[in-house]
Structure 1
């Protein structure tokens, strides 16, 4: 069964001291570009609801996340608005944003905000990275109950596989999965254990920090509730080539 969740993974991956040093330096560069994606409700308790993770691209005013992270619609009667959360700690900066591009097929969305620009992540080329490549991602796997504290995990690209993964029985098939079965595209499969909160995280090269994919779903062995107690250790990411196409289509420089 495939479930769209944020992804955090626990992997027994041993990096050399040099690789660990590279990741440490890379994190210093990319963490300011990692943001939370949420909905602001002025009369809500709480007012801010974190729905997933995103990352800044382009001129520093565009944010990428998963389409499934966004609400189906905002409640106008409650004056809800899309927001991004920047910074870290108990009092992150909240910035209003609007959705300017959305692809359900590739599960990608792009938001724009008009506040001062934030540091942006650089996108890798459209070519697929090799299986076995070391990768990492940074986001908010447990939400923001105690504040906005980005978490980083690492692993490898385990496989490059079609976007539709076989299911145990027909009851697990969704309409979107049936559509994709007619025209599947290739995605990265990671040796990763996924948990709620990290959907939309940038999957990046440990050394360069370049974005090579976007985390978007996890293979669930039993039920949604069993994700934490019995994780499958399999996570999927959308290749950055599809994000590049969407940005180009909407005339967004990156």
Structure 2
């Protein structure tokens, strides 16, 4: 009985120490990468409100390039309203707006590269092109439900649950379109996570908890029922594009990382 109690106590103490160490490591990493996390949206000088937040991005390279998802970008800008693609820096009411231009994008991999005006920002470091192992500890920081909650960065942590082909399930055959059939013929591998992302997290950097190196880009979360139900009924299935596909886009447009 005494041995059992001692063993249980030692195990509990070991768990607490490991958990504390892991949290401390993530806190240190977060402090390092947080200045590189930005919001992506549209600035309308004559609008009310003037700024709309569509998703998240992160700074790379020389501090003037930002990576996000292709689907986060506006489909078009209203020239009559003087709308501009915008990158939001900082958080809360102290956030500032930088105009941005599109450098390159990939609809296939749901990636886009922007270039911002003004002084360089702190940049995140990209991991190498190799896939990380399943069960690796990861985190992502972004602006979930940013249009409602505002520009306040939120961090989620988890593990790489699986490395799986990028195939989106459909309810029935009637919803299969030509684009889906093309992807089914040539699927590429993505990371499936056990951490839950939300609309607004799209474009967030998926990074290694210990090093802060970017290993992927959050791009998709399956939501039960409707987008409006995402807060009360999140699916818990989140996907990220591996950084190896980002390298392809960077090389294509001669962007140094």
Length-normalised TM-score, structure 2? 0.89
Preserved contact between residue 87 and residue 93 of structure 1 (Cα < 8 Å): yes
For 1:53 and 1:19, the matched residues in 2 are separated by 25
- TM superposition shift of 1:147: 4.3
SS for the counterpart of 2:164 is strand
Trace 1:1-254 onto structure 2 (pairs within 5 A): 16-143=19-146, 145=148, 147-254=150-257
How far the C-alpha of 1:145 sits from its partner, in A, is: 4.5
1 or 2, which has the higher helix percentage? 2
Deviations 1:118-165 (CA, angstroms, capped at 9, x unpaired): 000000000001110110000000215564211001001100000113
Which residue does the alignment assign to 1:8? none
Distance 1:72 1:40 in 2: 14
103-112 vs 80-89, greater mean Cα deviation: 80-89
Alignment-derived partner of residue 9 in structure 2: none
Q: CA deviation at 1:171?
A: 4.0
Change (3 A) 1:36 1:221: same
Which protein has the larger Cα radius of gyration, Structure 1 or Structure 2?
A: 2
* Residues 1:246 and 1:195: Cα distance change in structure 2 (over 3 Å): same
In the aligned structure 1, how far is the partner of 2:75 from the partner of 2:39?
Answer: 18
Please report how far the alpha carbon of residue 195 of structure 1 lies from its aligned counterpart in structure 2 after TM superposition. Answer: 1.8
Q: TM-score, normalised by structure 1?
A: 0.90
> 1:11 maps to which residue?
none
Unaligned 5+ runs, structure 2 = 1-15
Q: Relative contact order, CA 8 A, sep 6+: which one is greater? A: 1
Q: How many residues align?
A: 241
Q: Which ranges of structure 1 fall in alignment gaps of 5 or more residues?
A: 1-13
Distance (Å, rounded) in 2 between the aligned partners of 1:175 and 1:156: 33
- Can you list the C-alpha shifts for 1:18-46, whole angstroms capped at 9, x where unaligned? 21111011011100000000101111110
| Structure 1 residue 179: Cα displacement | 2.3
Q: Name the stretch that deviates more: 56-65 or 89-98.
A: 89-98
Of 48-57 and 185-194, more deviation after overlay is shown by 185-194
